[in-house]
């Protein structure tokens, strides 16, 4: 090789080295500008937060967070039970498309190559981690394809109960516990510590991340350290007589036959509780909400400590609502407002008008395309949700004309025998119960949220107490037509 050719080769190699270095630097800077995502899922959390108008709730951390975020006052889940709700939200697909109508159904059996929300971020170069209850509370229903490393549902030593009298082989012991212990004695305290450890590791990496943290409370049993029970006076939780019984205008199909609360120690299996039991369990639920609020506060404080706030999208979401004895119902698994409406708070680094809430109708299934848009990632083309980023930019922006929820009967069936489809507009809810095989209509419900004859406000919640379908035929027909249009366009 001549001197001249050798010199040219060296120059070319040096130029390539410089160009590669500049590309790597620019690529690294581009990656570092991509927003992180913190996705906080809270099990069984209805809108029992101070920022949602529940005057009893002691939730200072989430109330404070809401003042920096967009609060969605009319957010609804696709199905009011954890597995189907979480699957719909994290896949962006309706339950009838994933065939997940039950906690034991698995979406990859119906759609093996489906790309989940965290998986989309993983494929885009994000580090994705899931800790706690994200997809499911059952080890068999975790989704390894979604995460950069194995999801941690729970670790050894995480026990629901700490008192000796509640130790035993049965899952259902007491329905509540208020031991005088620290936060880390129960799983959600341990989960927060684990999440903060994960966060510290993520903060030290030059890689954007998607961190999902799934809190277990306020799910039964209502176990929380005593200091959270002591935040409330027990006599605040009496349920008015007008809310303690059902109305015979509401069809039997509307109320779930599954008894989640029944079977806990000293709780009747038919869940017919006296006023003392009702008061105590309502107290326990709120104590658990305050306990989770404190854990979320610690997690958000760690974000600030690690200087991640300026480049992180934070989502706080309840996987479905909950009934606390209203209309003689407990837990979830219905199409009623108190079960389908959930808290949804989203904070972005450049959020306009933080603290201004939106009253637009949105669905939890809309979170997938929203986060894709906020992170400038191309979402799958077959999502059933639609982005609510316009409402983040302008809280007055329009949402959906109606949101869709559903629930199957019986709950224990892997394939539905009967299905209740429910649409909620600004003023009304219409629910149609059908025979699954024939699609024959079995019963109908109509509620008017502007009328005290149909719906009662209580503690920041709206409680349906009279089905007005037979008395409002004009509205009923209009809602029937709207339901037909929605089912025809959204459920193929």
Question: Quick check: is 457 in a domain?
Answer: no
| More confident position, 186 or 169 | 186
- Cβ pair 489, 409 in contact under 8 A: no
- Cβ pair 88, 365 in contact under 8 A: yes
Question: Quick check: is 421 in a domain?
Answer: no
Q: For the segment 52-88, what is each residue's pLDDT rounded down to a tens digit?
A: 999 999 999 999 999 999 999 999 999 999 999 999 9
Q: Is 214 a residue whose pLDDT tops 80?
A: yes
CATH of the domain at 108: 3.40.720.10
DSSP state of 270: T
Question: Can you say whether the dihedral through the CA atoms of 435, 438, 443, 448 is positive or negative?
Answer: positive
- Cβ pair 77, 407 in contact under 8 A: no
DSSP state of 229: H
Give the confidence band of 241 by pLDDT, cuts at 50, 70, 90. Answer: confident
Task: List strands edge to edge, sheet with 418-424.
Answer: 403-409, 418-424, 428-435, 441-448
User: Structurally, how many domains does the chain consist of?
Assistant: 1
Radius of gyration of the chain from Cα atoms?
A: 24
Q: For the segment 140-153, what is each residue's pLDDT rounded down to a tens digit?
A: 889 999 999 999 99
**Element holding 81 (H helix, E strand):** none
Question: Quick check: is 14 in a domain?
Answer: no
Q: How far apart are CA 119 and CA 147, in angstroms?
A: 7
Question: Quick check: is 480 in a domain?
Answer: no
Q: What is the pLDDT of residue 413?
A: 78
Q: For the segment 307-346, what is each residue's pLDDT rounded down to a tens digit?
A: 999 999 999 999 999 999 999 899 999 999 999 999 999 9
Give the confidence band of 27 by pLDDT, cuts at 50, 70, 90. Answer: very low
Rounded average pLDDT over 347-351: 96
> What DSSP letter does each residue of 297-359 carry, written as one string?
HHHHHHHHHTT-GGGEEEEEEESS--EESGGG-EE--SSSHHHHEEEEEEE-TT-SSTT--EE
Rounded average pLDDT over 277-305: 97
Rounded average pLDDT over 273-283: 95
Rounded average pLDDT over 281-297: 98
Question: Quick check: is 476 in a domain?
Answer: no
Residues in the chain: 492
> Exposed, middle or buried: residue 7 (CB in 10 Å: 0-12, 13-18, 19+)?
exposed
Q: For the segment 399-425, what is each residue's pLDDT rounded down to a tens digit?
A: 999 999 999 999 877 889 999 999 999
- Cβ pair 38, 315 in contact under 8 A: yes
CA atoms within 13 A on the CB side of 305: 10
Q: What is the pLDDT of residue 26?
A: 36
Give the confidence band of 247 by pLDDT, cuts at 50, 70, 90. Answer: confident
Q: Is 29 a residue whose pLDDT tops 60?
A: no
465 three-state secondary structure:
coil
Percentage above 90 pLDDT, the chain: 84
How many CB atoms lie under 10 A from the CB of residue 344?
26
Residue entry with tokens 């950069």: 148
Question: Quick check: is 469 in a domain?
Answer: no
Q: How far apart are CA 198 and CA 130, in angstroms?
A: 10
Question: Quick check: is 393 in a domain?
Answer: yes
Give the confidence band of 380 by pLDDT, cuts at 50, 70, 90. Answer: very high
- Cβ pair 107, 394 in contact under 8 A: no
Question: Quick check: is 316 in a domain?
Answer: yes
Mean pLDDT computed over every residue of the chain: 92
Q: How far apart are CA 232 and CA 59, in angstroms?
A: 12
Question: Can you say whether the dihedral through the CA atoms of 400, 210, 333, 238 is positive or negative?
Answer: negative
Domain limits for position 96: 35-400
State both tokens at 356: 């201004």
State both tokens at 55: 């005057």
Percentage above 70 pLDDT, the chain: 93
3-state secondary structure 140-189: HHCCHHHCCCCCECCCCCCCCCCCHHHCCCCCCCECEECCCCCHHHCHHH
Residues 6+ apart with CB under 8 A from 183: 189, 192, 225, 291, 294, 295
Q: Is 125 a residue whose pLDDT tops 90?
A: yes
Predicted TM-score (pTM) of the model is: 0.92
> What DSSP letter does each residue of 381-439 carry, written as one string?
TT-S----HHHHH-TTS---S-EEEEEEESTT-SS-SEEEEEEE-SSEEEEEEEETTT-
DSSP state of 460: T
Q: Is 23 a residue whose pLDDT tops 50?
A: no
Rounded average pLDDT over 172-197: 97
Torsion angle in degrees (nearest 10) through CA of 439, 443, 448, 449: -80
Q: What is the pLDDT of residue 104?
A: 80
Q: What is the pLDDT of residue 33?
A: 77
Q: Is 262 a residue whose pLDDT tops 50?
A: yes
Q: What is the pLDDT of residue 74?
A: 98
Give the confidence band of 169 by pLDDT, cuts at 50, 70, 90. Answer: confident
Q: How far apart are CA 264 and CA 274, in angstroms?
A: 15
């Amino acid at each position: 090789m001549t001197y001249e050719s050798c010199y040219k080769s060296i120059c070319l190699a040096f130029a390539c080295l410089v160009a590669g270095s500049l590309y790597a630097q620019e690529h690294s800077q581009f990656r570092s500008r991509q927003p992180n995502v913190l996705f906080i899922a809270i099990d069984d959390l209805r809108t029992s937060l101070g920022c949602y108008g529940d005057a009893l709730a002691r939730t200072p951390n989430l109330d404070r967070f809401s003042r920096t975020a967009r609060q969605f006052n009319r957010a609804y889940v696709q199905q009011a039970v954890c597995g189907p709700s979480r699957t719909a939200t994290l896949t962006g697909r309706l339950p009838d498309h994933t065939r997940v109508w039950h906690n034991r159904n698995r979406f990859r059996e119906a759609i093996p190559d489906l790309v989940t929300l965290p998986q989309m971020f993983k494929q885009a170069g994000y580090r994705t981690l899931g800790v706690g209850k994200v997809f499911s509370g059952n080890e068999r229903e975790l989704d390894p394809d979604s995460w950069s490393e194995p999801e941690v549902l729970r670790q050894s030593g995480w026990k629901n109960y700490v008192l000796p009298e509640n130790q035993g082989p049965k899952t259902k012991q007491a329905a509540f516990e208020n031991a005088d212990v620290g936060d880390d004695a129960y799983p959600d305290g341990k989960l927060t510590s684990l999440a903060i450890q994960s966060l510290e590791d993520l903060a030290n990496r030059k890689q954007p991340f998607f961190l999902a943290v799934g809190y277990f409370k306020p799910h039964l049993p209502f176990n929380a350290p005593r200091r959270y029970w002591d935040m409330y006076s027990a006599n605040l939780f009496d349920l008015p007589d007008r809310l303690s019984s059902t109305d015979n205008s509401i069809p039997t199909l509307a109320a779930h036959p599954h008894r989640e609360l029944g079977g806990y120690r000293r709780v009747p299996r038919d869940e017919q509780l006296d006023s003392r039991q009702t008061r105590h369990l309502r107290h326990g639920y709120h104590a658990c909400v305050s306990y989770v609020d404190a854990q979320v506060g610690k997690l958000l404080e760690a974000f600030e400590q690690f200087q991640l706030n300026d480049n992180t999208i934070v989502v706080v979401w309840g996987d479905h609502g909950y009934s606390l004895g209203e209309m003689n119902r407990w837990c979830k698994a219905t199409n009623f407002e108190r079960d389908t409406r959930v808290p949804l708070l989203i904070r972005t680094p450049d959020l306009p008008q933080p603290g201004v809430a939106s009253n637009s109708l949105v669905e939890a299934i809309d979170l997938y395309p929203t986060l894709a848009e906020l992170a400038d990632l191309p979402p799958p083309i077959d999502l059933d949700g639609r982005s609510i980023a316009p409402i983040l930019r302008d809280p007055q922006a329009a949402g959906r004309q109606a949101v869709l929820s559903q629930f199957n009967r019986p709950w224990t069936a892997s394939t539905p025998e009967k299905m209740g489809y429910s649409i909620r507009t600004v003023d009304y809810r219409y629910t149609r119960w059908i025979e699954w095989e024939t699609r024959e209509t079995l019963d109908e419900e109509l509620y008017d949220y502007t009328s005290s004859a149909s719906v009662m406000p209580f503690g920041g919640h709206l409680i349906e107490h009279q089905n007005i379908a037979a008395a409002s035929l004009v509205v009923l027909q209009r809602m029937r037509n709207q339901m037909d249009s929605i089912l025809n366009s959204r459920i193929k």
